[in-house]
Structures are given as C-alpha cells and as structure tokens.
Structure 1
Amino acid sequence: MVSPPHEAMHRIFQHDPGLFSRVSRFLGVDIPAPVKATALPTDLTETNPVERRVDTLLRLETADQGSFILAVEAQGKKHPDKPASWAYYTAYLWTKYRLPTALLVVCQDHATARWAKQAVSCGPPQLPTLTVQPLVAGPHNMPVITDPEEARADLVLASLAAITHAAEPDVDVILKALSTALRDAPEDVAKPLIEFTAQGLAKRPAKNLWRNLVAVDLSFYKSYLAEEVRAEVRKAVRDEVRKEVQAEVRDEALTQGEARRAAADVLAVLAERGLPVSDAVRERIDGCDDPETLSRWLRRAVTASTAEDVVSGA
C-alpha cells in the first residue's frame, strides 16, 4: 500500500513543476525554470500483463534548453529491484516521447539516498550498455530552512525541506519556520502545502508538532488535520472536566460516608453510657454531614450529662 510520505515526496512536484529547477541547484546541476509544464500519464504498462507505473511524470519546457521528461520517484528504503525498474522507465520514456529523460529520486534518510544515487549498469562491467544514475534529493542535500523569511520566499521548497528532513533533528525548527511563513499565505496556497507536509511526516514524532502548529498558528485553516487536533483538544477538555466531576462526586461520597460513621459513633457512645436520646437529638446527629462537628460531639458524648448537652451550642 502506498504510504502518505511516498505520495508527498513526488506529488509536490506535480503541484509545482517549477520546483525541480529550484531543487536542482542543491543537486549539483543547473536546470532552467520551465516556461511550461505538462503532467503526463504515469502508467508505463505495455501490452503484456506487467504493470509499471512511475510516481510522477512531467514534461518540462525551458526557454533555452527545450523540452525534457522528468520522472519523479519517491523511495522510502533500499530495494534491489528498483534500479532495473528505473532503467525501464527512462528507456521507455525516451523511446515513447523522443525527449531527453531525467529521473529524480526523493528520499527521507541518508542510507537510502546514498544507495539511490549509485550508478547501476545493466550490462557486464566491460559492457555497461545502459547506466542509470538518478539525481537524488534527500536530507543530505536539501536545504535546512529555519528562517520564516526564507521559507516565505519559496513555500513549496520549504515544504519539501520538511518532508525530506522528517527524521532529522532539525525538522522541528523547519516546521516552525514553515508554519510561521504560511500564516500570511492565501488559503488556496497554504492548503496543499499543509497537507503535503502532513503526509510527508506520516507517523514520525514530528507529525504531532505539525498538527499542533496547524491547529494554533494556522487556526484559520480548515482541514482534516486541523479539525483532528481541535477535536482531540475538545475531547481532552471533556475528559478533564469528567475527571474533575468524578473526583468531586467521589470526595462527596467519602465525606458522606465519614459523616454517617461519625454519627453512628456518637450515638453508640451515648447508648453505651445509657443516656436517653430523644428523636429530635437523634435526627440532628444523623442529619449532620460535617465531620468536624461530629468529631466535637463525639468528644462531648464521653462526658456530657445528657444527650441534649452533646448537641447544644453546635
């Protein structure tokens, strides 16, 4: 099953195809910004029953270098079969569109990034024939954007920075800078980036911080993420109130129990001493719910001449 981080790592390039040219400078190449971008079908299946799908596929057109095909693959871990699939993708796309074809692999950990950027040849060492060496974006080369002003200058890149650094110690600062920058962004701009970032963080600890930032810093924003946090806050408040009420009821029950026992002790001492207890006195003792008063009456019951003396003067 496709995971949310997988979707976020490649779909963000569908959302903003120009992101690739801005990312390329961190990858050691210089790709001009596209003047036109077209999303292409991602199904690379042939007539045989083997299904092959690339994650995101774009046709980018630049002013000075013409058109090229960009395939974006999100890679969550090392997989020995992937280089062969990537070779198929690039060869097929080159054949189908007759355009230069580039492959970008987006990762969230250093080990996968190191593995993905290795050159892999399909032939024997002396006959490499077809070599695949994708560009790789990951925590090793994506910028750590911790300044809200820098994040505001390129919100999409800041979101990708958060996604690719999801497991890194710096992610908390990146998320805070991004949430601050998104406060001033129109909702139609902020909405997809909030969701991409949430998907990219998935079940990592930073997801909780992002959810809280969205609920507080971006309280204007309505989505499942924000509403989920607000619902949890409301539930926590209800649970706390319920606990307080239960504690009050429990304390009241304990107080009533103590009062009943103390009243019984007062009447027991009077009975042991053989002092007659009128109905009025008995009703007053049984009806008292103040432990301190009953304790005082108990001490009087030991020496009082009559039951009336016990309760006189309260």
Structure 2
Amino acid sequence: MTRLPEEMLHNLCPMHAVLDETGHIRQAGPTLHKLSLDRLEGARFLEVFEVYRPRAVDSMPQLLQTEGRKLHIRLRGGVRTPLKGVLVSDGQGGAVVNLSFGIAVMDAVRDYALTSTDFAPTDLAIEMLYLVEAKSAAMDASRSLNTRLQGAMVAAEERAFTDTLTGLRNRRAMDSVMERLVRSGHAFSIMHIDLDFFKQVNDTMGHAAGDHVLKHVARVMNDETRAEDTVARVGGDEFVIIFGNLTSRRRLAELAGRIIERIEKPVMYEGRECRVSASVGIAISQVHGQDPFELIERADQALYASKRAGRAQFRFYDGSDGPDETLGKVAVGNE
C-alpha cells in the first residue's frame, strides 16, 4: 500500500507544519500538537508561532522570503518554548516548515513529557539525552562516592587522633594541637597528669577495673575543662591537658586542685572501691615560638617533683631553674 505524503511527513518530520498560500496550517506533525493547547490545523501559523529572528516577519510573503535560512521561533502562548526552524516552499505559494528544539531539547522533554517516539528516527536528540542522563547519573554517583570518601577520611582522621578506650585525644593529636598553637603565637599552658597507685588497681582487681578507672578519670577531666581545651591520654595512666590562651597561675592551680580532689574519690567497680590519686605538673609558655616538646619536658619535670613531694598534688615549672614551690590541692600562688 502506497503511503500518502502526509503520513511520510509525520514519520520523517514529527515537528513539521504544512502551510497553505494564506499562511494557515493545513497539517501539523504529532509532536507539534503536544506543544500547543489549541488546535493547529486551520490556525494562522504566525498567530501560533512568533518568528523573532529574522525580525519583521508577520505575513506569509515575508515568511516565504526566509526560505533556506535558520528561523528562530517560539510559541506565543503556554511555555513559549524556543524552537529552530527551516522553511521550504512548495512552489505554489505554500510551504513546509520543519521545527526542532535545538539546545532546549532537555527543557522540552521535561515540559511536554516527550519520548523517543516524538522525534524523527534520525534525530540525535534522544541519543544526546541518553548521554546527558548517563553523565548526570555518573556525576551523581561520583558526588555520592566523594561524599562517602570524605566522610571515611574524616572518620579515619578522627580515629587516628582518638584514644579508643577513653575517647580522649591521643599523643598524635596533642602534638598537632601544640604545634598549631606555637605557629599561631598564642600563649598556652600544659598540665601533665599521672595517676598514683594505678598499677595496684590493675594488679589486684584486674585490667577491666583499671579501664573503668581510666574512663572515670577521662570524664573528670572533660568536666573540668572548656570545649576549646585539649584533653589527651598519652600513656597507660598519663594524661595531658592543653589550655589555649590560659596562663593564669591562680586559675590553673584551681583547676589542678579540683581535678586532684575528684580523682581521689573512690571509684566503685563490681561492688569494690578503686582508689587512685593524681600528681600534676604545669608548664606555661613564656615566649612566642616556644618549643612544644621543651614545654612538655618542663611539665614532666614539675610532675615528678609533685610525686617526690608526696603525690596527690601539683607543681608549676617556674621557667628558669626548675620546678618552683607552688604546690597543693587548692588555689595558691599569684596571678
């Protein structure tokens, strides 16, 4: 059966419009019908579509003069989708105008719910849409993967700087914080804390009891420090607290006294008392660029001076000859 020219146009050019000599639409392709809410056949082409390039096209004779040129067209109503078109005269005063979406194809597919059947078989628009969708899916997958990787990196860094038993910072985190404070030039102080009689708890009651005590001590230190301070467990029963922008001897003495007092209180484990105390050494940065490891060494010297003096007390490093005589469990010394 021989196909009619109209049917052939529908298959080859689903966005065509056949115009008569008066400029009225005699036939429109199936896809073109999806763009307009009004019936196209019988309507004047230039009343449904606006030719905005080239300008001053408002009659059929002027429209015929654009033959072979690219037309820029948009709907006068509705979504006003921009279209590209080309006109071919039929030699009898009428014409065929074939339209396409151009780079607006993605918007058109969304706005009019178009499918592959709305395009000519040779039109590359659908293939382009598939590529765009594939790229979008790949980009979404890439963003999701990057988000997961960043989350994993943050989690890994957090684990690398965290003591697994107590949840405090570890030595690596302590070194990083001190180096940052030294680079910034901010004054800070260090409190080195060592638990007294902790070995006896481990030996007599077991490591589970010792772990229980360490977790309790960690809570005490977190309670007594600010959010911006760094509390680190740097050894089995050794802790370091870094106080940024805090160098008041009176304030540090108050903190040390409270920490010692709270740690001395018995900790219950399975109905038995665990008794430990704490010796504390304190060092204060004196000048910008202070070597952080030297400061730790000074706090360590003050700590062992506290132990030699009888434990369960604190002592400051005076910054010159060695540990000074400021010791006790309550606020002492001058600002």
> Do they superpose with TM above 0.5?
no
The structure with the largest helix share of the pair is: 1
* TM-score, normalization by structure 1: 0.31
The structure with the largest strand share of the pair is: 2
Flag the structure with larger Rg. 2
* TM-score, normalization by structure 2: 0.29
